[in-house]
């Protein structure tokens, strides 16, 4: 590493860039979580104002509320995972910096544990990032299912409206 000064820089920069990527994921996931909580509040309010919970509309809202709850819990787990990734990437960058300082001083008793700690922190960070991303995919799948169900319901109503509006023409 002494012949290439950029090797040390790359050991520090890579975790720093991934730390930034984790921060962006945290911000976007927090935004999704806030929107999901707002949607759950709105659905709860609508259900509380509904006179009959046996109506088709109330049942649809109840299903959407359950889906919203699932999505919120998944987003919370993803957010935790991204925070773990952020901390682990920051730790990997810091440990790499300490190792870069200790290596030229020939502090071998310190360098080897720092190398292991850096690699371990990086592995934990990547695993947390992958896990959080998988959770986001699951949350997105639930959101798409809700939209698909809602679109089918609207198409069904719209189709019924077209059929009932055409029925008088049938007799002419």
- What percentage of the chain has pLDDT greater than the value 90? 48
Q: How confident is the model at residue 101 (pLDDT cuts 50, 70, 90)?
A: confident
Any idea what DSSP says for residue 51? S
Helices (H), the chain: 5-49, 56-102, 108-170
Dig out the tokens for 126 from the structure.
């990547």
- Whether the predicted pLDDT of 1 surpasses 90: no
Res. 80: pLDDT tops 50: yes
Distance CA 116, CA 114 (A): 5
The mean pLDDT of 115-120, rounded to a whole number, is 91
Distance CA 27, CA 129 (A): 14
**Cα–Cα distances in angstroms (integers) from residue 127 to residues 27, 111, 132, 140, in the given order:** 19, 24, 9, 20
User: How high does pLDDT run on average in the chain?
Assistant: 86
Distances (CA, A) of 42 to 31, 39, 112, 148: 17, 5, 55, 20
Q: How many domains does the chain have?
A: 1
Q: How many other C-beta atoms can be found within 10 angstroms of the C-beta atom of residue 101? A: 14
The three-class DSSP label of residue 104 is: coil
More confident residue, 97 or 160: 97
Structure tokens given for 107: 């502090």
Range of the domain at 126: 5-170
147-172 average pLDDT score: 72
Containing H/E element for 50? none
Helix segments in 50-107, DSSP class H: 56-102
């Amino acid at each position: 590493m002494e012949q290439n000064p950029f090797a040390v820089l790359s050991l520090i920069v890579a975790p720093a860039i991934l730390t930034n990527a984790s921060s962006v994921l945290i911000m976007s996931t927090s935004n999704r979580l806030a929107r999901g909580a707002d949607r759950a509040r709105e659905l709860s309010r609508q259900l509380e104002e509904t006179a009959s919970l046996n109506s088709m509309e109330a049942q649809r809202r109840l299903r959407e509320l359950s889906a919203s709850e699932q999505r919120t819990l998944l987003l919370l787990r993803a957010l935790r995972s991204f925070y773990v990734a952020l901390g682990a990437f920051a730790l990997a960058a810091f440990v790499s910096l300490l190792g870069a300082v200790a290596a030229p001083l020939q502090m071998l008793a310190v360098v080897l544990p720092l190398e292991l700690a850096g690699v371990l922190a990086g592995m934990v960070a990547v695993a947390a990032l992958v896990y959080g991303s998988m959770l986001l995919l699951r949350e997105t799948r639930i959101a798409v299912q809700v939209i698909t169900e809602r679109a089918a319901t609207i198409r069904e109503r719209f189709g019924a409206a077209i059929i009932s509006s055409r029925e008088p023409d049938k007799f002419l």
